[in-house]
A and B are shown apart, each in its own frame.
Chain A
Amino acid sequence: MNKKELISKISEKIHEEAKDAGKIKIMHLCGTHEDTITKYNLRSLLPDNIKLLSGPGCPVCIIPDEDLQKVFHLIEKENIIFTTFGDMARVPHNGKSLFYYKAKGYDIRIVYSIFDAIKIARNSSRTVVHFGIGFETTMPSTALAILDAPENFCVFSSHRYFIPAMEHLISLGVEVNGFINPGHVSTITGIKAYEKIKKYGIPQIISGFEPEDVMLSILKLIKAIKRGDAEVFNEYTRAVTYDGNVMAQKVMDDVFSVDDWEWRGLGVVPRSGAVIKEEYSEFDVVKVFEDAFSDFVPVEDKAKKACRCGDVLRGIITPLDCPLFNKRCTPKDPVGACMVSFEGTCNIWAKFGVERN
């Protein structure tokens, strides 16, 4: 038996199970899951009553414009070296992006790992500021870097805890019958982190990223939904344990405390922001450059008026419902963040040529 046969077997089984299941909406929460789903056209293997929505699963997409503008503000005012992961460098605001600043001669460097940013700092006398983005998967590496950083290094923390966002989504009234939980966030947090979401009565499954993983997760969810069973299931058993990576959790707890921070599309999500603790304030850009931020005023980006990223991130619309999709907004010339990031739903749909049929 090959992969294709296995997937079509699971698909058959899904059709069988779904027959008497009524309408079911399943939301996945991870850009990499959307990538698998779209690349393998998995939606076409599902019956009409099973809908797969994509949620706020891309850390680049959910960073609000205000964070980005603060970064631009700092770069304009201070003679720093600014390091970032590549995806983030293309997100536009009012016609500017980190790449724009790079082209203008500001010292912006794309790094693969925060460890590379530390190396740059060790070899320079200037201050290196790293753009700390990402959920629980990425946060431990930033925490480790802070514990081991030279004096001329600090972090702009835009890190956000993912699991509070799930609870927030439910509180916003997003209609979902089952969640496919992000596999790599879960390698760190473990299954246990989702326990407190059980009370909402929505079954969840932690899933791997192969097409058969996702299909199997859908099948297991449909069965659970029919039984009325709101467990947290784990399909990604090869990488996710009940407790997760305890050491990584501890490092995160040592360095970060929580605050209520805003997300693009979701508004303020309680206890989702990763603030660098007071004891490490010498590595926190907000404290180190307090004066530079004192005259910061956020401005709106008029080009984004028609952009519907917020609705895409809540699973309310698909990219096809955005009037700008593949017209004014393309991967080459993006308007919104969801078209920039490789894990943004709009980018994925454009890349694989999804069209209205």
Chain B
Amino acid sequence: MCLAIPAEVEEVNFPIAIVNFGGTRKEVRIDLLPDVRVGDYVLVHVGYAIQKVDVKEVEELAAIYQKLQEEGIL
């Protein structure tokens, strides 16, 4: 129900943005994130962008692994 899915912002026309979910383009409301820019990644929930996401941290497993080692977790 409150699952949120990351999408890339492709066009901004406040309060609406066009975002791309891995190929599918969709209109979302950005009232809650007025400073989003084209190229940002946002979490989309029930048609609203609710927070920005740092994609680098999502996509690079090697970076995650290194971070964990530095933190002494692994």
Question: A residues within 8 Å of B by Cβ?
Answer: 1-3, 6, 9-10, 13, 31-32, 58-60, 85, 87, 112-116, 133-135, 137-138, 140-141, 144, 182, 184-185, 187-188, 212, 216, 219-220, 237-240, 245, 247-248, 251, 341-343
Contact = CB atoms under 8 A, between A and B. Distances in A.
A144 B32 contact: yes
A60 B1 contact: yes
Nearest to B50: A187
Interface string B1-41: 11110000000000000000000000001011110000000
A219 B1 contact: no
A6 B1 contact: no
B54 to A, nearest CB: 4
7 contacts: A59-B1, A113-B47, A115-B29, A134-B46, A144-B31, A216-B73, A342-B1
Q: Is the interface of A mostly helix, strand, loop or mixed?
A: helix
Contact of B61 (A3, A133, A182, A187): A3
A57 to B, nearest CB: 9
Interface of B: 1-4, 29, 31-34, 43, 45-48, 50-55, 57-58, 61-62, 64-65, 68, 73-74
A142 to B, nearest CB: 9
A237 B57 contact: yes
Given A184-B4, A184-B43, A238 B53 contact: yes
Given A59-B1, A115-B47, A137-B50, 6 more contacts: A13-B74, A58-B1, A112-B47, A115-B48, A144-B48, A239-B43
Nearest to A185: B2
A248 B32 contact: yes
Contacts of A134: 1-2, 46
Contacts of A112: 46-47
A86 to B, nearest CB: 10
Contacts of A342: 1
Contacts of B47: 112-116, 141
Contacts of A31: 1
Contacts of A133: 1
Nearest to B67: A237
Contacts of B73: 13, 216, 219-220
Contacts of B74: 9-10, 13
Contacts of A13: 73-74
Contacts of B61: 1-3, 6
Residue of B1, B51, B68 with most partner-chain A CB within 10 A: B1
B33 A245 contact: yes
Contacts of B62: 1
Which of B4, B54, B55, B62 gathers most chain A CB within 10 Å? B4
